[in-house]
Amino acid sequence: MSLMRQRIQLGIGFTTILLILLNSGCNSSGDTTKKDSTIGTAAKISVFYPDFFEDSANGIFTQTLWAVDSNLIRFEENLPKLDNGYYEAQFEFEMHNFSQMEETDIATNNKMESAPLVWIIDPKSKFEDLNQARDSKIPNAKKTLKDTTINNIHCTWISNIWSFPQVVLILRDAHSAGKNLTSTWFQANQKTLFEITKPLELGNTQETKTGKHHPGLIQNRYSDSISIAIEANYNVKAMLSAELKLVAKANDFIWLRQETGNYHSNLMLQFIANADSLQDQITVRNLLTKKYLKTAEGTWVEISESGQFPIRKWSIKGIHGTEYWMSGWQTELNTNRRGPFLRRVIHDIANHRYVAVDGFIFAPNQPRNRLMRELEIMVSQFSLSQ
């Protein structure tokens, strides 16, 4: 009996050591599969800095005139176009020092460092080891997304350091202990930072058993079930927020909507026969909204073609070939109700049609950046079924 007990104890001890080794791993970069599931807010960046750099960091982020979204106009305030507040900024910043990184965020119950978008101001290279991220077959492993030097500042974008999915930018100025990290540097180089950061935010998704998810959206079984139903009936894949409810559908149209006392947010899908595709997209969209989006008063929305709300059109090469994009504002006829929209059109060659996904909001006297970024995430992640 004593010998048997001794063997059992040895077995338990060996198993315990093996589990510890497996869980701790030999990865010096600290990359493990056990990470927070990222929850956060679209268009928001959590910025962390060392205690000794606090005054400099606060100065940088209050003095810098941050790049704006030229489609988000604060028209209700009647500001002159040259006023710094005429447009909304592309991102909101939330400032924390390094000592707060492991504190709990009461909004998400995750650690502060687990936010979807994180910038680390690292003048003394405290986080230099994180730059050694290597690609791995593990789905949530750290990966170096972009590594470059911008005017003497080493900038490295890395995925999934403290949570999954996550994008972290580390800004290092090891040669001058942070003296080059100034408001002047951020002012001069923010366009480059945003041009790299924003697409990474839009694509910061994870595949689950029930569909694709993004930490900037509220998603659950309801939103997954709507996405599955849309794919089954229309042969398209839509990543949706659970806050959007299905309002109407037809053979050539789907409309989802979130409505509160302060705003309403909308996502439309339009299916356009090849024979009709050569029409101007302004005309195509106006015909759609007139047909399906009439109000109780009998009015409808049309794209505003005034000089105050310019229409922008561009095309890019996407996974389905050339994509046609358009942004601007729409106005409800005979009213002062208006709001921004973003439209993306894909050629579905296999099904002899074009598919348009369109996000728009009405949010009078409300910040529009988060709402439009949520819609932009959904618009950008829309795809055709293969």
Looking at 152, 175, 204, the residue that finishes a domain is: 204
Among 172, 204, 236, residue at a domain's last position? 204
Summarised one tens digit per residue, pLDDT across range 325-344 is: 999 999 988 887 899 999 99
In a domain, 41, yes or no: yes
pLDDT at 6 over 70: no
pLDDT at residue 72 tops 70: yes
| Per-residue model confidence (pLDDT) at position 25 | 37
Listed residues 204, 227, 254: the one ending a domain: 204
On whether both 325 and 235 belong to a single domain, the answer is yes
Quick one: CA torsion of 188, 190, 192, 193, rounded to 10 degrees?
140
Query: Quick check: 232 pLDDT over 90?
Result: yes
* Rounded mean pLDDT, 259-267: 95
Identify whether residues 200 and 211 lie together within a single domain: no
pLDDT of 297: 79
Of the candidates 147, 116, 118, which has an alpha carbon nearest to the alpha carbon of residue 40? Answer: 116
CATH number at 302 reads 3.40.1000.10
Verify that 249 and 348 share a domain, yes or no: yes
- pLDDT tens sequence across 141-163: 899 999 999 999 999 999 999 99
Q: Do 97 and 229 have their domain in common?
A: no
What CA–CA distance (Å, rounded) separates 166 from 140? 9
Q: Are residues 61 and 136 in the same domain?
A: yes
Question: Going along 113-200, which residue ranges are E strands?
Answer: 117-122, 143-150, 153-159, 163-164, 167-172
Counted domains in the chain: 2
Q: What percent of the chain has pLDDT over 70?
A: 88
What's the pLDDT at 36? Answer: 82
63 vs 59: CA distance, rounded Å = 6
- Token pair of 87 as six digits: 């447009």
Residue 20 within a domain: no
Whether the per-residue pLDDT at 122 is higher than 80: the answer is yes
| 315 shares its domain with 329 | yes
pTM of the model: 0.89
**351: burial class by Cβ within 10 Å (0-12, 13-18, 19+)?**
middle
pLDDT, residue 15, reads 38
* Structural domain range at position 258: 207-384
Same domain, residue pair 66 and 169: yes
Same domain for 166 and 303? no
If asked whether residues 361 and 213 sit together in one domain, one would say yes
Q: Between vectors from CA 197 to CA 226 and to CA 96, what angle results, nearest 5°? A: 100
**One domain, residues 149 and 212:** no
The DSSP call for residue 320 is T
State mean pLDDT over 186-213: 95
